[in-house]
Amino acid sequence: MTYANPGALIETDWLASHLNDPHVKVLDASYHLPGTGRDAETEFTQRHIPGAILFDIEDVRDRNNPFPHMLPDADQFGEQMETLGLSNDDLIVVYDVHGIRTSPRAWWTFRVFGHDNVAILNGGLPKWLNERLPVSDDIADPPRGAFRATLNRALIRDIDQMLANQETRQELVIDARPAGRFVGTMPEPREGLRGGHMPGSVSLPVENFIDETSKTFQPAAGIKAALAKQRIDYRQPVVTSCGSGVAACLISLGLYLVGNETVPVYDGSWSEWGARQDTPVE
In sequence order, which ranges of the chain are alpha helices (DSSP H)?
A: 12-16, 40-46, 74-83, 103-112, 124-130, 159-168, 179-183, 220-229, 247-257, 269-273
**What's the pLDDT at 35?**
80
Residue 1: predicted pLDDT: 56
How far is residue 198's CA from residue 10's CA, in Å, rounded to a whole number? 34
Is the domain of 175 the same as that of 109?
no
Total tally of structural domains belonging to the chain: 2
The pLDDT, as a whole number, for residue 191 is 87
> In terms of domains, do 146 and 200 share one?
no
Write out the DSSP string of 172-223: EEEE-S-HHHHHTSS--SSTT---S--TT-EE--GGGGB-TTT-SBPPHHHH
CA atoms of 205 and 212, how far apart (whole Å): 13
CATH number at residue 27: 3.40.250.10
Domain boundary among 152, 168, 192: 152
Looking at residue 279, its pLDDT comes to: 97
| 238/198 same-domain check | yes
> Does 161 lie in the same domain as 81?
no
Annotated active-site residue in 93, 106, 210, 242: 242
| Rounded Cα distance, 265 and 270, in Å | 12
* In a domain? residue 278: no
Alpha-carbon span 111 to 122, nearest angstrom: 18
pLDDT of residue 182: 97
The whole-number pLDDT of residue 49 equals 98
Residues of the chain with pLDDT under 50: none
Instruction: Specify whether 242 is catalytic.
Output: yes
Range of the domain at 111: 6-152
- The model's pTM: 0.96
Contact 92, 86 (CB under 8 A): yes
